[in-house]
Amino acid sequence: MHHMAGHPNVVSIVDAYEDAMAVHLVMELCAGGELFDRIIQRGHYTERKAAELARVIVGVVEACHSLGVMHRDLKPENFLFVNHEEESVIKTIDFGLSMFFRPGETFTDVVGSPYYVAPEVLRKHYGPECDVWSAGVIIYILLSGVPPFWDETEQGIFEQVLKGELDFMSEPWPSISESAKDLVRRMLVRDPKKRLIAHEVLSHPWVQVNGVAPDKPLDSAVLSRLKQFSAMDKLKKIAIRVMAEILSEEEIAGLKEMFKMIDTDNSGHITLEELKIGLEKVGAMVKDSEINNLMKAADIDNSGTIDYGEFVAAMLHLNKVQREDHLHAAFSYFDEDGSGYITKDELQQACKKFGLEDIQLEELMNEVDQDNDGRIDYSEFVAMMQDSGFDKKAHL
């Protein structure tokens, strides 16, 4: 972060302190809220405004890359406004996954967030081009209110990122300028060598200051979709945080030990046979067909084996299926009076505890409350937690 110091759209680090347990970073205060929240609050939103935001986002990417830094976790929540003023500066935060790179160097560790991760990251052979892909996904959402690649599960999202078609037929795309669509297409090219680099994106006519982006309001449906996408994401974050606190350090450490135990030849990769034997050893009651499906789902790079990162993801998925008590505990956290339902007031209290007082509760309740009785029961809560976070079918 010291490397990026001085850039107007990168959060500055004020100081750092270390105690026996951790290093504490003191960062510049950004009190103006997240990117999507500001758009929702404005109510008036045009293609030109989306182009202005795109210019800032890709400008940060270009600055990072020129200094030999790739961010690797670009997503809307990592862009904050400094204050609530109309013309507030926007800042990029969370460089926790960023890395220095040398020209031509490739990386293999799978990092990032499902909707925004580039296909080459999933294939474990990537460089700084992955940031341009993530920025392209953000621009797609800024223009339409929905992610370009989605599914009901995280694994399904990854498959769509690798193979799915870009949708420019559904609303509001027919009314969006051809120039905007051209830019998004060229940023979301799966071959990183054919993808635009950050400087080329900034030279595109749609992104440029006084460029061709029209100043007419975007379809109102875009704002309502952004509201839903942002609100659902926040509620799931609270629930996942509650569940993470339930998981003990022993359980997390146990995954590392389990991997070592299953990987009998210490190759750093687990074969299907090793996985079957290992799961039997730890007493997991899983059918052969389920193990095959688990192996297929976990093996993101289709190598025929799973490495440690893939194993942890698979075990957490299996754990989620087997440990319904974690879901119950998270539900009970919200359902303070033990009525079997989460009311709007209870949801408001939970949001307040986690500093999410600006969350749009009405939209959130409407999305999760499938039977429209004004409260969330356990089955509705579980459905939300197992969903990818956006029911696109309901909005097409």
Q: What residues are labeled active site?
A: 73
Q: Helix, strand, or coil here: 167?
A: coil
Rounded CA separation 107/40 (Å): 36
Q: What is the DSSP letter of 91?
A: E
Neighbouring CB atoms inside 10 A of 33's CB total 16
Count the Cβ atoms, other than its own, within 10 Å of residue 83. 13
Contacts of 198-204 with CB under 8 Å at 24 or more apart are 198/58, 198/59, 198/61, 198/62, 198/65, 198/131, 198/132, 198/135, 199/62, 201/54, 201/58, 201/61, 201/62, 201/132, 201/135, 202/55, 202/58, 202/59, 202/62, 204/179
Distance CA 23, CA 27 (A): 13
Tally of CB atoms within 10 A around 138 = 25
Pairing of strands 90-92, 23-27: unpaired
